[in-house]
Chain A
Amino acid sequence: MAEKRKEFWRWKEYNWHDESMNPKDADLITAGVDVGSVSSQTVIMADGQLYAYSNMRTGSDSPDSARKAMSWALEGTPLTMGDLAYTVGTGYGRVNVPFANRAITEIACHARGGNMMYGPSVRTILDMGGQDCKAILCDDRGKVTNFLMNDKCAAGTGRGMEVFADLLAVSIEEVGELSLDVEEEPPPVSSTCVVFAKSEATSLLREGWPKSKVLAAYCSAMAHRVYTLLERVGVQKEFAITGGIAKNIGVVKRLEKELGLNSLKSKYDTQIAGALGAALFAKALVEKERKQAAAQ
Chain B
Amino acid sequence: MGAKFIKVLLFKDGRVVVRTREEAGFEPLAAAEKAYAAALAQAGVAESDVQNVFATGAGRKNAPRAKDSITEVSAAARGINHLMPNVRTVIDVGAEEGRAVKCSATGKVDDFAINEKCAAGAGSFTEAVARALEVPLEEFGRLSLQSSKAIPMNAQCAVFAESEVVSLVHAKTPKSDIARAVHDAIASRIVSMVRRVGINNDVALIGGVSNNPGFVDALSRGLETNVTVPEHAEFIGALGAALIAGERSN
Interface residues of A (CB under 8 A from B): 60, 131, 152-154, 159-160, 163, 191-196, 202-203, 206
Category for how many chain B residues contact A: 10 to 19
Residues of the B chain whose Cβ atoms lie less than 8 Å from the Cβ of A153: 118, 156-157
A159 engages B160 (CB within 8 Å): yes
Interface residue from B117, B157, B167 paired with A154 (Cβ < 8 Å): B157
7 A-B residue pairs with CB within 8 Å: A60-B170, A152-B157, A153-B157, A191-B117, A193-B119, A195-B128, A195-B159
A214 to B163, CA, bound (A): 24
Give me the 4 closest cross-chain CB pairs, A-B, nearest first. A154-B159, A195-B119, A194-B159, A195-B158
Q: Count how many pairs of residues, one from A and one from B, have CB atoms less than 8 Å apart in the complex.
A: 39
B124 is an interface residue with CB less than 8 A from chain A: yes
Within 8 A of A (CB), among B152-167: 156-160, 163, 167
Return chain B residues, CB-CB under 8 Å to A196.
96, 117, 119, 124
CA distance A7 to B168 in the complex (A): 21
Known: A153-B118, A154-B158. 16 other contacts (CB 8 A): A60-B167, A152-B156, A153-B156, A153-B157, A154-B157, A154-B159, A159-B159, A163-B159, A191-B117, A192-B117, A192-B118, A194-B158, A195-B124, A195-B159, A196-B117, A202-B26
Tell which of B26, B157, B158, B170 has the most Cβ of chain A within 10 Å.
B157
Which residues of the other chain, A, contact B128 by a CB distance below 8 angstroms? Answer: 195
How far is A204 from B26 in the complex, measured between Cα atoms in Å? 10
A131, closest chain B residue (CB): B160
Task: List, in ascending order, chain A residues with CB within 8 A of B26's CB.
Answer: 202-203, 206
Query: Closest residue of chain A to B160, judged by CB?
Result: A154
**Residues of B close to A194: CB separation below 8 A:** 157-159
> In the complex, what distance in Å separates the CA atom of A192 from the CA atom of B26?
19
